[in-house]
Structure 1
Amino acid sequence: MFDGLDVDGDADIAVAMLDSRGLHTTGVKAAQPVFSVTKMFVATAALRLIESGRLALDDEVSRRVPQAPSGITVRHLLGHTSGLPDYASAPAYLDAVAARPAQPWSLEQIASIALAGDRSAPGRFRYCNLGYWLLGAFIEEVTATPLEQTLAEVVFEPAGMASTSYPAPGAGLTETGYDTRWAGPAGAAWATPADLVRFLTELLERPLLSVPSLAAMTTVTPVAAGPPWREPGYGLGLMIDGWHHTFGHGGSGPGYSSAAFVVPGLGRSVAMIARSSAGADLSAPALRFLQTDHRAAGQ
């Protein structure tokens, strides 16, 4: 059933795959950190709030979030086109994570480190975790509700994701004592592979979003990326490859890697979470897995 799954490095892998025969799972059943896969959840929440009239893609974020520079919109943050610098490789951030893994920083601390870097003009793709921190704060201001509650109400519950959560403060500790809230709205969520498959099915195959919202979400900004990508682009919270016909996201952080991708219209998707100190890249095996299943289905 899982032929074609080949991951480099020493990794304990949980997998869920949906095809014409149904949902198939293997490995750990409990929720685990999925890091940047979280961005799909936050983007979906933002788009559902737009549908309800509570915010708009062209809202300027600084009007509600003082840490955001002026001129940056919700659309910019969702699609990584804000031109803002990031913090993930900043020595001060890495040192703080290593010294105090159970004490995540606030948005104010994250922004002070990130915004010390060089900023470019909005428009071109520039991957930026800070953008999703700002977006999460904007959503909290608009809803007057903690982000974990909003995500549960407008994304996880409607999509049937019973094992997925965005952790409340103090509830995101891994077994090594790292709190995933260090990644904030850019990557703090926990999920199971089965829930990730359910999410992608609801997002791309069923009406979790309206037609206009899904069209906006899947409108691509070109991205410079090497293998395994062939025609890579980024929508609003989605990694998209035109050649592979895949939509989804990957993620990685201390101790875990994840990937979740769907081929819309064919009822085929795969999600993987690897617990590994090697930081295994799951995007390539996920794509190989989908292609292997595709070939098998055509035989």
Structure 2
Amino acid sequence: MANFTLVTEFLLEVFAETWELRILLSVLFLLVYLGSLLGNLTIIIAATIDQTLNTPMYFFLRNLSILDMGYASVTVPNACINSFFDHRNISMGGCAAQIFLFFFCACVEIQFLTIMAQDRYVAICKPLLYPIIMNHQFCGQMTVASLLSSLILASVHTFKTFQLSFCHSNIVPQFFCDIPSLLRLSCSDTFINQLLLLLSAIGLSGSCFTFIAISYVRILSTVLKVPVKGERGKAFSTCVPHIIVVCVFLSSGAYAYLRPPAISDIMKDMTLSVFYTIVPPFLNPIIYSLRNKQIKKAVKKVIFRIFHR
């Protein structure tokens, strides 16, 4: 406990050891971050201003974009600043806040993606029942349920993580504070923490992934029955990229959070974490919106209004 009382802050890893590579990666990730902000902000503005996009699909798309802006902002800006200025310190409170916000956003993200898969399934497979199933009340309830369940999960995991004693080291083997990295630094028994992660993965991520997979299998089976090839291609071009992003997001996150603490390689861990921290907020706007004619039309309307005032 003497060592534990000395740990008042943690030291985060930077993107690379050499200054040149560190700056290159920092600039690259910063550009991706700014791109994700721009893409998501465009969706939010377009879906808010254009009244024709006042449907459940765009309601959740707007919510996902708001979430993705926060999700990327929790880790990327701080990591880029750390790499630029070689400032690696983060306080215990700052680390706890980062863990809570990151875990909260990740849990809401997977639930929103699941609801959006449900929305697409109903729209394509049960179009006549769409207004009844995906009504405003249902959308509101699902949003609140996602936020509350994620709030509870993030609070429990953050609380249990910072109940541990940290006396092995204060160097976090990651460019942001996350639970697996802190578990490796702890000299306490982390069995309960690992069990909680496993239960969360099975209960939330596992069930969400199963639901998404079933939804898209049904969508694709319905689409294959459509005689028009052009319509089939449109549906495939929307479904397949989304499935890929969900698989990358969940598989990389599951590997990082569920593997034994003893198995660790800093560069491998940092590379892997990019796939569940930086990639989804950047790709979601492209997959869901920039290929969508209604969004493109709404964006053109917004730009026309701005430049013709």
The TM-score normalised by the length of structure 1 is 0.29
The higher radius of gyration belongs to: 2
The TM-score normalised by the length of structure 2 is 0.29
- Structure that is richer in helix per residue: 2
